Amino acid sequence: MESSSDPSFFERVWAVVAQIPPGRVATYGDIAEHLGRRGAARTVGWALNEAVGSGLPCHRVVNRNGELTGRRHFETPHVMKERLRSEGVEFVDEHRVALDKHRWTPSDAA
């Protein structure tokens, strides 16, 4: 059985994240579930930590509540929010996107 933290899982995470359109966000859990690893949301986060700075739109991935939990992994803690705002993503409070309005799931790409 393949480990959820092996390189091929990370590559599959990156492939899904690359599909998230501007102005939309996906959750770590949505990505993990789409990849058949429902309990691997944290591992999705590890994959994204390795991809920060790669050009992949990692800023479009939030936690299940729409919170910007990955913001500390960017150049500054404000970069994630600034990028999302520039794409038209609305926030319900300081670090939480309007998930009901901007949520994208991998099945939307099909």
In degrees rounded to 5, what are phi and psi of residue 71? -60, -30
Which residue out of 35, 51, 58, 80 is catalytically annotated? 58
Integer-rounded Cα Rg, in Å, for the chain is 13
Structure tokens given for 42: 């944290």
For residue 5, indicate whether it is catalytic.
no
Q: What are the b/e assignments for 54-79, b being 16+ CB within 10 Å?
A: eebbbbbbbbeebbbbbbebbeeeee
**Neighbour tally for 49: CB within 10 Å:** 13
Helix (H) or strand (E) holding 43: helix 41-51
Give the active site residues: 58
